[in-house]
Chains A and B, each alone.
Chain A
Amino acid sequence: MHDGVLEVKDLTAYYGTGSNPTRAVEKASLGIIRRGEVFGIAGESACGKTTLALSILRLLKPPGHIRGGEVRFDGTNLLELGEEEMRLIRWKKISYVPQSSMNALNPVMRVRDQMSDCIEAHEGRQSNEELDNRIGESLRNVGLSYEVIRMYPHELSGGMKQRVAIAMATILDPEVLIADEPTTALDVIVQRGILQLLKEIRDRMRTVLLITHDMAAQAEVSDRVAIMYAGRIAEIGKTESVFKDPLHPYTQLLIQSIPQLRARAKLAWIGGLPPDLRNPPKGCRFNPRCPRLIAGTCDVKEPRPAEVEPDRFVACHLYGD
């Protein structure tokens, strides 16, 4: 596919070394992520979403480390680049809105100074006028007034700080924006505004990787979505298909567990607990909680992702050969 920008293949990242590392992300393949799409990564806490994002950016801190796989951007495997080459790509080509980024702003620097640091780190010294123009425009893109440029983070509400974080992440006009839980902890109306912003970024033919556990947010903006469970990708497909016809038993339960505002269908929930990733179960990692367990298969053999229809991958023995 010629419009692909980012390819993630068999990415594996562990925390800790020795004989018993936490297998946070195991052989995660997202396939080819395309230009101008919002690609969602959904799953519950501790399923490895953030570790996956940090691995793509090579920002994983020890004891976390990448064990293997490929992250291809423009044909280059990012995992093979030197630290300095990676630094040049980070932010300029692939940028990041970290989780609770409203608290990631420097509290003692004005918005302008934080944002100009970003520009100058990549593009060298710029005139003040040039900086003000670019920062002003980037703030305007997220619906903030020019006055914000002079403000300190504490003068802004949570939603405004989140928009500043997005403005900062998009100021160099990167090809890919990875947004980790950008709506969590914000009020619903503000959430809606943030999701709208992500759509606008996509409409400018940029790619957004939206990481959120909020399935309703995924339904609202993602074009395709990957469902993660216990460090593995369970299912990938067009958002419409995944919601309308979820294939993996985990996805099915996850979707049935979301309350709908206007329909009071009985909600499902999943008994048991997600596995301890230092010691994951044999076979499929969902097998101890799975209602459709095939004994003798699911608890023995690990399912490989299979393309069951074009653009639809599922890692489950129910759909295997």
Chain B
Amino acid sequence: MIMNDSGKLLEVSHLTKIFGIGGLIRRRELVAVDDVSFNMPAERPTTLTIAGESGSGKTTTARMILGFIRPTHGGVIYRGKNVLNMNRDEWKTYRREVQAIFQDPFGAFNSMYTVDHVLRVPIQKFKMAKTDEETGQLISTALEAVGLRSGEILGKYPHQLSGGQRQRIMLARAFILRPRIVVADEPVSMLDASMRAGILHLMLDLKKKQNVSFLYITHDLSTAHYVSDAIAIMYQGSMVETGPIDDVIADPLHPYSRLLIDSIPIPDPGQRWQEHIELPSKESQTQTLDGCKFYDRCEFRLEVCKTQRPVLKQEKTRFVACHLYQTS
């Protein structure tokens, strides 16, 4: 298959997903992902974080990229090809080169099989090996790459392993297929701190040594900063700010990014929060608003924010969707 390798590895453009919720009567529309665009470069492996709180649309975005759900508008373009218009072969290549790992490292296993099964199936499906010997070789190389010893792992059932080991096996499974991109949706949020760092290091290692790019979906900006090059912050389905992660963390421009970053506790008792924040005292209904989605909670809101939805515009090294930066 010929795919265009120059330029962008993955391009997401104007991705939108609208879910219909409710019954037959009183049906409402919920815009889960609202005109989201970003891309990942092809010339070097990168890790891009999509960050946001629950309901921000980050997982829906990931699921559209993985082809689990169809976008309402917009598209996902992989190496120059729109994922929705791929032929059989192209789609198969896409499914091999774009892999996923998920939050719950237990749910991804069938508890009736030993872990060998989860490693062997992709090898068979994608005909990665001709003989049993080759299969065995591939499995042990992959386990080694994720820091596991095959002797200790193979033949075990998922419940006999720790969460950290199970998550490593998921990475090994992805690794077997030599992916270009791994979509990692909250891969460490269920792991204990002492295991979490191991998985984060593995992500850095696979990027460096195996040229794997990561799309890291998380609510946790501390781990995001540890592994990522770039970040896109989402709020209620829209991207509010995107750019190099060091810049965004050091000097967030969008008021929501600022609030989010300031609210992350620093694990140092010498640096505690000084300011008091107010949480909303009742549920707000802002979904139908025409203006900025953050209007209700924003302390810098302007008159224009109420009526006009801000769009992403370049500001310094990044893009931000906020009227504070769009006065010109």
Contact = CB atoms under 8 A, between A and B. Distances in A.
B264 A257 contact: no
A219 B192 contact: no
Contacts of B272: 219-221
A270 interface: yes
Contact of A261 (B249, B273, B278): B249
B194 A261 contact: no
Contacts of B201: 267, 269
Interface in B266-294: 266-270, 272-273, 276-279, 281-283
Main secondary structure of the interface of B (DSSP, over half): loop
B266 A260 contact: yes
Interface string A196-229: 1000000000000000011111011110000000
B283 A156 contact: yes
Contacts of A195: 265
B259 interface: yes
A273 B162 contact: yes
Interface residues on B, range: 35 or more
B53 interface: yes
B225 interface: yes
A257 B193 contact: yes
B279 A193 contact: yes
A191 B141 CA distance: 42
Interface string B201-224: 100000000000000000101110
B19 interface: no
A37 to B, nearest CB: 13
A135 to B, nearest CB: 15
A45 B196 CA distance: 13
Interface in A165-215: 187-193, 195-196, 213-215
Contacts of A267: 197, 200-201, 226
B66 to A, nearest CB: 24
A261 B264 contact: yes
A254 B282 contact: no
A157 B283 contact: yes
B181 to A, nearest CB: 23
B154 interface: no
A7 B54 CA distance: 39
Contacts of A189: 53, 259-260, 263, 277, 279
B240 to A, nearest CB: 14
Interface in A246-269: 253-255, 257-262, 264, 267-269
B219 A259 contact: no
A144 interface: yes
A213 B279 contact: no
Nearest to A45: B192
B324 interface: no
A162 to B, nearest CB: 10
Nearest to A223: B269
A257 B194 contact: yes
A270 B225 contact: no
B265 A220 contact: yes
Contacts of B283: 155-157, 160
Interface of A: 44-45, 143-145, 147-148, 155-160, 163, 187-193, 195-196, 213-217, 219-222, 239-240, 243-244, 253-255, 257-262, 264, 267-270, 273
27 contacts: A44-B192, A144-B282, A156-B283, A157-B283, A159-B279, A189-B259, A189-B263, A192-B263, A192-B265, A213-B192, A216-B267, A219-B266, A220-B265, A243-B268, A254-B194, A255-B267, A257-B194, A257-B196, A259-B196, A259-B197, A259-B200, A259-B223, A259-B225, A260-B222, A261-B222, A262-B266, A267-B197
Given A193-B277, A196-B276, A220-B272, 6 more contacts: A188-B221, A216-B222, A239-B269, A260-B267, A264-B225, A269-B197
